[in-house]
């Protein structure tokens, strides 16, 4: 299985390649097509924004790109691996090694402290608790909350919890980081700070970061902005289109 | 991941204690009720247990237990004695009588007539007095639990007079005996005296107790006695079993205890199932996040199994300890005299606990396994 995961990508700089990705949802009798054939190449070393109106399919697309939602049609290559051709367990393992998640509600485990929460991906990989925590604490330090390492999530502020969630997404050095609406709950300044932070600690030459956001206050921080309208990419560039 | 699972569980104190309580309560109810059940029905064999030296019990073919017997003509004794392989054979009388106490109350008692010469039939140990007290003509020995029915607690009855079927009897000793199923008072006396105490029909020999010669198997000897005399002969173990079976077949006890044990099980399923499901539901987002991050279903299963095992082992331990404490604290109560926990009982409750947790854990787990990892972005 590891030879599948490590297969050389066709284009070394391409992190994600989607070809003809279609996704239908069936609600009761009727089937709705949410994504209408998405062809995208996301490069490594870039911070990509995925924007669009509510219901345009952003969450659906990012879920398919990171390997947690099967497309109805089409293929997704992550660092050269055709991920939906993997078996279920291989795909889970692929995510564990290659994808870092930042969830909107953080979804930290309330009963374990910040360092252990940040260490979860390493622990799931089988790294010993002590070493996993040590590596997590290094990241917490980079995020300026090393002094909160022993606190439970309930003892942390919202912003601190988010930093723990960011640390958890980065601790195992995945090659793809995905975030859905990371700043939605934050005020403008905090939102900017989180984005700055992500640029600083998450972005690297061999890693790409995709962020779903509504937040037009921070559009200037992206390397690339993709606009989704009714399940189609209608804009692709460094800046937002004028009419947005 | 297992320690994370354990932390998740213990971190939610209310549910954790709820789960422990459910398991401990079920274990306690099942273990305790089964223990009482086994000990109670074993008292159906108390008459046999009290005479451990008898290898074979010989009786009229229609007799069924120590208390349900039809007396035989006294000639049966000699017929049994003449069977080869019989080392010794002694007469044994068991009959109902009534006693008028000093207060004037009338109480039903069982009178046991033991062999005059050897005193076989009398429990070996005495808590007060010695076995040779029976040499006095009107002497009787009372069983220790029976004492508590006639006299206040802690009272030494030695020297007390009784009116036994209108005959004078004096209590000269107290026997350390396994109480009968009904905990009726038992009075031991010599066989010849018992014939006087219990007037009645021509036939009054309830049993012939037999000791087998060395190197003859009790079972073979019993068959031989039946063939030679036409009487029913049962080995000690068989006859004990007969007494227990009689209780099982003729009382509502198995049904009653069965219902309680079933209730214990159901209460366990209800409390544990509900709490476990609530716990999983509260943590479903965390489990979903773990699944998205890359924890596969096998590991999730192991996490929930670890949680179940933790709750199970602690709860079960508490339940068994509770039973031990219960038996121990009632050990001085005559009703519970000699109660012990048969080794099979904790195993049965362990199986019940395992079943409860497997069932409820499986139901709770289904929700986690069903959760789409994509749900974390919703
Ligand atoms: N599991 C599902 N079952 C049925 N329909 C779904 C499901 N998930 C999404 N949809 C539908 O697909 C469409 C796109 O949903 P999606 O969540 O991708 O939108 P979005 O762009 O992320 O919106 P928002 O900005 O509000 O988060 C919506 O019409 C939604 O109702
Ligand atoms: Mg969305």
Structure tokens at A184: 């939605």
The tokens for A216 are 């037009």
Q: Nearest-CA neighbor of A136 among A162, A110, A166?
A: A166
Please answer whether residues B112 and B188 qualify as being in contact, where contact means their C-beta atoms are separated by less than 8 angstroms. Answer: yes
| Cα–Cα nearest to B51, from B245, B208, B244 | B208
Which tens digit of pLDDT belongs to each residue from B93-146?
A: 998 888 887 777 888 899 999 999 899 999 988 887 777 778 888 889 999 888
Contacting A with CB below 8 Å, chain B residues are 1, 3-4, 7-12, 283, 285-286, 288-296, 298-299, 372-374, 376-378
Q: Do B157 and B147 form a contact (C-beta atoms < 8 A)?
A: yes
Nearest CA in chain B to A104: B377
Q: Do residues A190 and A163 touch, judged by C-beta distance below 8 A?
A: no
Give percent above pLDDT 70 in chain B: 100
CB proximity under 8 Å: A 134-153 to B:
none
B146-157 pLDDT tens trace? 888 888 888 888
Low-confidence ranges of chain A (pLDDT < 70): 1-12, 185, 242-244
- How far is the centre of ligand 2, averaged over its atoms, from the C-alpha of B146 (Å)? 80
Please list every residue in chain B whose beta carbon sits closer than 8 Å to the beta carbon of residue A129.
3
Look at A111 and B7 and tell me if their CB atoms are within 8 Å.
yes
CA distance A28 to chain B (A): 19
With CA atoms as reference, the chain A residue closest to B294 would be: A96
Does residue A57 line the site of ligand 1, with CB under 6 A? yes
Is the beta carbon of A34 within 6 A of some atom in ligand 1?
yes
Residue B283 C-alpha, separation from nearest chain A C-alpha, in angstroms: 8
pTM of the predicted structure, to 2 decimals: 0.80
pLDDT of residue A242: 66
Residue B364 has pLDDT above 60, yes or no: yes
Convert the pLDDT of each residue in B53-93 to its tens digit: 999 999 999 999 998 999 999 899 999 999 999 999 999 99
Q: A218 is written with which tokens? A: 């921070």
Q: B163-185, pLDDT tens digit by residue? A: 888 888 899 899 988 888 887 89
Residue nearest to atom 12 of ligand 1 (CA): A34
Give the pLDDT confidence score for residue A6 in this predicted structure. 43
Specify the pLDDT at position A91: 94
Assigned token pair, A1 = 């299985």
The burial of B145, by beta-carbon neighbours within 10 Å (0-12 exposed, 13-18 middle, 19 or more buried), is given as: buried
Nearest ligand for residue B374 CA? 1
Of the ligands numbered here, which is closest to the C-alpha atom of A53? 1
B91 CB-side CA count, 13 A: 24
Confidence of residue B302 (pLDDT cuts 50, 70, 90): very high
Residue B250: pLDDT over 60: yes
Best of A83, A92, A112 to substitute, by most chain B Cβ atoms within 10 angstroms, is A92
The pLDDT of residue A2: 43
Q: What is the pLDDT of chain B when averaged over all its residues?
A: 89
Write the pLDDT tens digit of every residue in B232-243. 999 999 999 999
Longest dimension (CA), chain A: 54
**pLDDT at position A84:** 93
Whether A111 sits inside 8 A of B299 (CB atoms) is no
Q: Does A123 touch chain B (CB under 8 A)?
A: yes
Is residue A63 within 6 Å of ligand 1 at its C-beta? Answer: no
Q: How far apart are CA B18 and CA B23, in angstroms?
A: 9
């Amino acid at each position: 299985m590891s030879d599948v995961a490590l297969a050389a990508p066709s284009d070394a700089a391409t992190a994600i390649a989607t070809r003809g990705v279609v996704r239908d949802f069936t609600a009761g009798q009727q089937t709705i097509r949410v994504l209408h054939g998405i062809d995208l190449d996301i490069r490594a070393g870039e911070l990509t924004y995925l924007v669009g109106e509510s219901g345009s399919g952003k969450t659906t697309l990012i879920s398919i790109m990171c390997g947690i939602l099967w497309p109805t049609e089409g293929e997704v290559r992550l660092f050269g691996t055709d991920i939906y051709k993997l078996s279920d367990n291989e795909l889970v393992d692929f995510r564990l090694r290659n994808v870092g998640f930042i969830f909107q509600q953080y979804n930290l485990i309330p009963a374990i402290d910040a360092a252990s929460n940040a260490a979860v991906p390493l622990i799931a990989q089988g790294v010993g608790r002590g070493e996993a925590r040590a590596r997590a604490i290094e990241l917490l330090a980079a995020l300026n909350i090393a002094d909160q390492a022993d606190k439970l999530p309930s003892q942390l502020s919202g912003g601190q919890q988010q930093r723990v969630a960011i640390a958890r997404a980065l601790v195992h050095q995945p090659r793809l980081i995905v975030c859905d609406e990371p700043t939605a709950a934050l005020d403008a300044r905090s939102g900017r700070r989180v984005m700055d932070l992500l640029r600083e600690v998450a972005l690297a030459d061999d890693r790409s970061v995709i962020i779903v956001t509504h937040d037009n206050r921070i559009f200037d921080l992206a390397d690339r902005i993709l606009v989704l309208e009714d399940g189609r990419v209608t804009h692709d560039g460094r800046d937002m289109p004028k009419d947005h | 991941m297992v320690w994370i699972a354990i932390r998740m569980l213990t971190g939610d104190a209310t549910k954790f204690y709820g789960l422990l309580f459910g398991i401990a309560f079920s274990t306690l109810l099942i273990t305790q009720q089964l223990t009482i059940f086994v000990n109670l029905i074993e008292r159906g064999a108390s008459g046999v247990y009290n005479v451990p030296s008898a290898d074979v019990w010989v009786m009229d073919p229609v007799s069924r237990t120590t208390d349900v017997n039809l007396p035989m003509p006294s000639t049966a004794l000699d017929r049994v004695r003449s069977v080869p392989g019989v080392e010794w054979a002694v007469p044994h009388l068991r009959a109902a009588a009534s006693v008028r106490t000093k207060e004037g109350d009338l109480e039903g008692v069982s009178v046991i007539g033991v062999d005059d010469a050897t005193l076989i039939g009398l429990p070996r140990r005495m808590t007060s007095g010695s076995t040779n007290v029976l040499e006095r003509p009107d002497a009787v020995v009372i069983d220790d639990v029976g004492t508590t029915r006639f006299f206040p607690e802690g009272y030494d009855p030695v020297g007390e007079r009784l009116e036994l079927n209108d005959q004078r009897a004096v209590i000269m000793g107290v026997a350390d005996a396994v109480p009968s199923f009904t905990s009726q008072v038992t009075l031991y006396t010599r066989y010849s005296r018992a014939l006087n105490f219990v007037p009645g029909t021509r036939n009054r020999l309830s049993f012939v107790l037999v000791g087998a010669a060395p190197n003859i198997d009790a079972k073979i000897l019993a068959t031989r006695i039946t063939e030679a005399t036409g009487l029913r002969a049962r080995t000690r173990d068989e006859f004990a079993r007969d007494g227990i079976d009689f209780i099982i077949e003729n009382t509502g006890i198995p049904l009653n205890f069965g219902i309680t044990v079933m209730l214990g099980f159901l209460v366990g399923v209800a409390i544990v199932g509900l709490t476990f499901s609530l716990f999983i539901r509260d943590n479903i987002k965390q489990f979903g996040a773990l699944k998205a991050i890359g924890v596969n279903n096998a590991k999730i299963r192991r996490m929930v199994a670890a949680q179940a095992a933790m709750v199970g082992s602690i709860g079960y331990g508490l339940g068994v300890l509770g039973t031990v404490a219960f038996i121990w604290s009632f050990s001085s109560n005559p009703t519970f005299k000699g109660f012990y926990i048969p080794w099979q009982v904790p195993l049965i409750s362990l199986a019940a606990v395992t079943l409860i947790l497997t069932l409820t854990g499986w139901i709770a787990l289904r929700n986690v396994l069903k959760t789409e990892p994509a749900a974390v972005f919703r």
